[in-house]
């Protein structure tokens, strides 16, 4: 697997993990426990991973000449918790050679 393709997969998974932690751990700690510091920390981390994913997707879309549906689906999947974990296999099957 090429480094850019691997970067898309890794940033997608890291973004998904940080999103699940944000929604599943930090938000309950804020609203049930009254501690908003977790949301601040994990929100920044999730934001950084999301921006990295968007940049990797854009570069991969240009370099590999993927159809526009590929980056759009990965982007939309990143907006929903758990979906990127299921999309990972599909990302693996995307071509890495310009067509």
The answer to whether position 83 is within a domain reads yes
In a domain, 97, yes or no: no
Full residue range of the structural domain in which residue 76 is found: 3-92
Give the tens place of pLDDT for each residue, 7-33: 999 999 999 999 999 999 999 999 999
pLDDT (0 to 100) of residue 88: 85
Tell me, yes or no, whether 98 lies in a domain.
Answer: no
31 falls within a domain: yes
Q: Which pTM value belongs to this model? A: 0.89
Tell whether 99 is covered by a domain. no
Query: What is the SS3 assignment for the chain?
Result: CCHHHHHHHHHHHHHHHHHHHHHHHHHHHHHCCCCCHHHHHHHHHHHHHHHHHHHHHHHHHHHHCCCCHHHHHHHHHHCCCCHHHHHHHHHHCCCCCCC
Q: How many domains does the chain have?
A: 1
């Amino acid at each position: 697997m090429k480094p850019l393709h691997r970067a898309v997969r890794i940033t997608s998974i890291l973004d998904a993990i940080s999103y699940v932690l944000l929604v599943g751990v930090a938000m309950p700690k804020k609203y049930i426990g009254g501690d908003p510091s977790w949301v601040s920390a994990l929100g920044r981390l999730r934001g950084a991973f999301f921006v990295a994913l968007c940049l990797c997707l854009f570069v991969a879309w240009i370099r590999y000449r993927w159809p526009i549906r590929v980056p759009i689906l990965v982007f939309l999947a990143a907006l929903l918790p758990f979906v990127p974990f299921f999309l990972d296999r599909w990302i693996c099957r995307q071509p890495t050679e310009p067509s």
